[in-house]
Amino acid sequence: MVHDHGSRLNKDQQHGPVPQKPPWLTIPTELEGRELDDWMKARFLVNKEGEATVVILQPAAQHELTQASLQVLKQWTFLPQMQGDNPVDGEVSIRIHFRSQ
């Protein structure tokens, strides 16, 4: 099970970049069957055209989770942050929780 926590309003109460049907993250096969309870943090820097750059703020303790997540996060697409009717550069941070039983 993977949860992401983010997509809040920014400090100016403008909607930040909005993810568009982000692909689901999956547990790497080499970690299947293990009990996991791990976290990582990432930030998307999204320009006014909706193009995103991923920055890992806090990697997961399991290196395999960070690497697998980075590959999937690079596939995310966004609608840009809006300031009124105008697209502007923005960012959104997420926290991903990896948990298995």
pLDDT per 10-residue tile (average), the chain, 101 residues: 47 73 84 89 95 96 94 93 90 90 71
What sign has the CA pseudo-torsion 16, 11, 43, 27? negative
- Reported as half-sphere exposure (CB side, CA atoms, 13 A), residue 73 has a value of 25
Global pTM?
Answer: 0.79
Domain 2-99 classified CATH 3.40.50.12170? no
* In the chain, where the domains are located: 2-99
